[in-house]
Amino acid sequence: MLRNFCFLMSVLLPLFGGSVLANGDIAAGKSKSVTCSACHGQDGNGVESLPMQPRLAGQHAEYTAKQLRDYQSKARENAIMAPMIAALSEEDINDISAYYASLKGTIGSSSAELLETGETLYRAGNAETGLAACMACHGPSGRGNPAAKYPALSGQWAEYTKIQLMAFKSETRSNDLSAVMRDVATKMSKEEIEAVSNYIQGLH
């Protein structure tokens, strides 16, 4: 069912692309994102000592913009982000999102110990528990689907991905479209979350 939903969204939403695409000024976004670099890195690829903060370089502008709006509306809550984005205008959000989308993302590495399990989960899911393959929505190389606001995952810190999956699993994060990620995460064991997060960090 989830696989069919993701496929349907990937087909239909591009038809309405004009209404979902963020239209920002990259140069202005670079200037406005200076304070963001402390957690997200000078080039948007994160800070190695802060793997709980996401890499934003290469992330779809539409997805980043949605998250910033959700932080403002408190649909997604984070004590660090709340004061950082409180005063952002819609123009600021679009500019910053466009800037990060323009940057080149880097790829990390995956631990060999968890690689096989993580790859299986990402590409095939788990038939016994009804877990859909991650690539059904995020693509075989983790590039996501910008029109559907499904994020690019390729190269994302394993720690950040794990934290977000656990938040979806506990429903302390609930700003996912049609509860798709909550449905996915509740079917995953902590060990599966660990493995797929590790795999995604090296995915390209």
Q: What is the pLDDT of residues 154-171, one digit of tens each?
A: 999 999 999 999 999 999
Quick one: 82 and 116 in the same domain?
no
What pLDDT does residue 89 have?
98
Among 58, 159, 147, CA closest to 106: 58
Is the domain of 28 the same as that of 90? yes
Indicate if the pLDDT at residue 1 is higher than 70.
Answer: no
Query: Last residue of a domain, which of 59, 86, 102?
Result: 102
Instruction: Check whether residue 6 and residue 55 sit in a common domain.
Output: no
CATH (domain of 196)? 1.10.760.10
Q: Say if residue 44 is in the same domain as residue 128.
A: no
Cβ neighbourhood burial of 107 (10 Å; 0-12, 13-18, 19+):
middle
CA–CA distance, 153 with 71 (Å, rounded to integer):
20
Which helix (H) or strand (E) segment holds residue 9: the answer is helix 2-12
Global pTM reads: 0.89
- The stretch 72-100 carries a mean pLDDT of 97
Report the distance separating Cα 35 and Cα 173, nearest Å. 25
Question: Using 50, 70 and 90 to split pLDDT, how confident is the model at 86?
Answer: very high
Give the model confidence (pLDDT) of 16-48 as tens digits. 333 334 589 999 999 999 999 999 999 999 999
Q: Residue 121: its pLDDT value, please?
A: 98
| Cα distances (Å, whole numbers) of residue 80 to 24, 36, 52, 149 | 24, 11, 12, 23
Q: What is the pLDDT of residue 13?
A: 42
Q: Which domain holds residue 56?
A: 17-102
pLDDT in tens, 101-127: 999 999 999 999 999 999 999 999 999
